[in-house]
Amino acid sequence: MSCDFIALATPGVQTLKPYAVGKPTEELERELGIKNIVKLASNENPLGPGKLALHAARQALESLHLYPDGAGFYLKSALREKFGLRPEQITLGNGSNDLLELIGRGFLNRGDEVIFSQHAFAVYMLVTLGCSAKPVEVPAKLFGHDLAAMADAITERTRIIFIANPNNPTGTWFHRQALESFMQRVPEEVLVVLDEAYVEYVEEEGYPNGFEFVDRYRNVIVTRTFSKMYGLAGLRVGYAVANPEITNVLNRVRQPFNVNAPALAAAAAALNDDNYIEDSKSENTSGLVQIAEGLQALNLHAIPSVANFIAFDCGRPAQPIYEALLHEGVIVRPIGGYGMPNHLRVSIGLGEQNDRFLRALEKVLNV
């Protein structure tokens, strides 16, 4: 007699599918025997890690026999100096995804409602169902968040609202005044999680700084990551900022050593690597223009983006185009799982990587 272990799982988990990560270059090499692969699938920093972060991580390797600082004193001190945050406001995580899960574990009960937008980050649904809560997906507006409609969706059972600014995978964003109007409609007992994984790339006037909303609204939690602008995706380190009462809850469910020692050291160093940050912004700004103009030349509609990626409409089912690009040694991201079956998302790479993507795309479109 065989045991059905799926049936033993909690009801929410039974409905989940594992998160689909971007295809690694090594996997494509094994499958197709292709070398010199360009990976533009996971919104990583194409410059690689900064020198200051690398140096700090290497120094931390000398103490790998010791547990890391569970309180993250030096990283929290660096965040305080950089942004004026108080240590008691900060929760550290194994990437910002870890923090999204901690928020769910800390505050969701079976049957609670969680609001998020259509085409929003897939982890919001994973967190919700993993905690046996009820997802409430609000239709998007021009591929972005319809904050007014999300406010209309609030009920007495609403516990958390996940909002990404900019949004992944669409690259859309909303203005400070839109967030202000939204927050004025949200009851204090409803947590608003402002996911700012890509905030460092944004240069638009009127873009809201989530930290200011944490200071003004007790129910706002901001999550950020070192995986994108700071080039530390492989080390997995992020942080949440909230009022100390919320932080107290998150630390009750956080594992004591959830961020490793090299990650703590590298993140603290990366925060103040101004030259690296400036180079990363410059490379991304020029790359956004390069790819947007290239897509336009191919008569493909791209969703205007302020992040380090662009989603574009292939004008037909995107999966075959994605697979054809793999045979050209170019990895991008299909986003049919986000309700966008005709779209692909491409991360911004170095200039020559962007050129190779555009040449490959033109080739496969004309086959």
- What is the rounded CA–CA span in Å between residue 248 and residue 70? 15
Q: Is 75 exposed, middle or buried (0-12, 13-18, 19+ CB in 10 A)?
A: buried
Domain contains 4: no
Whether 234 and 298 map to the same domain: the answer is: no
| pLDDT of the residue at 178 | 97
What contacts 226, CB < 8 A, 6 or more positions away? 232, 235, 237, 238, 263, 266, 267, 270
Whether 191 and 332 map to the same domain: the answer is: no
Domain contains 282: yes
196's tokens: 């700012």
Please give the angle made by the CA atoms of 178, 182 and 187, to the nearest 5 degrees: 165
| pLDDT of the residue at 292 | 97
Domain contains 261: yes
Residue where a domain stops, chosen among 220, 240, 271: 271
Whether 35 and 98 map to the same domain: the answer is: no
Whether 267 and 323 map to the same domain: the answer is: no
CATH code for position 221: 3.40.640.10
Domain contains 12: no
Whether 222 and 130 map to the same domain: the answer is: yes
| pLDDT of the residue at 33 | 78
Residue-wise pLDDT tens digits, 111-157: 999 999 999 999 999 999 999 999 999 999 999 999 999 999 999 99
| pLDDT of the residue at 36 | 86
Whether 335 and 216 map to the same domain: the answer is: no
Whether 173 and 258 map to the same domain: the answer is: yes
Domain contains 130: yes
Distances, alpha carbon 149 to alpha carbons 120, 121, 145, 146, 350, in Å: 15, 18, 9, 5, 38
| pLDDT of the residue at 6 | 76
- What is the rounded CA–CA span in Å between residue 298 and residue 178? 34
Cis amide linkage into residue 244, ω under 30° from 0: no
Whether 292 and 240 map to the same domain: the answer is: no
CATH code for position 36: 3.90.1150.10
Domain contains 316: yes
| pLDDT of the residue at 52 | 98
Neighbours of 218 (CB within 10 A): 13
Whether 186 and 284 map to the same domain: the answer is: no
| pLDDT of the residue at 365 | 94
Residue where a domain stops, chosen among 271, 288, 316: 271
Whether 183 and 322 map to the same domain: the answer is: no
| pLDDT of the residue at 2 | 78
Burial 255-289 (b: 16+ CB within 10 A, else e): eeebbbbbbbbbbbbbbebeebbeebbebbeebbe
Domain count within the chain: 2
Domain contains 5: no
What does the DSSP assignment read for 272-321?
T-HHHHHHHHHHHHHHHHHHHHHHHHTT-EE---SSSEEEEE-SS-SHHH
Q: Which residues of the chain have pLDDT under 50?
A: none
Write out the residue range of the structural domain in which residue 342 sits.
Answer: 20-48+275-365
Residue where a domain stops, chosen among 222, 250, 271: 271
Domain contains 85: yes
Whether 178 and 317 map to the same domain: the answer is: no
| pLDDT of the residue at 34 | 80
Whether 132 and 116 map to the same domain: the answer is: yes
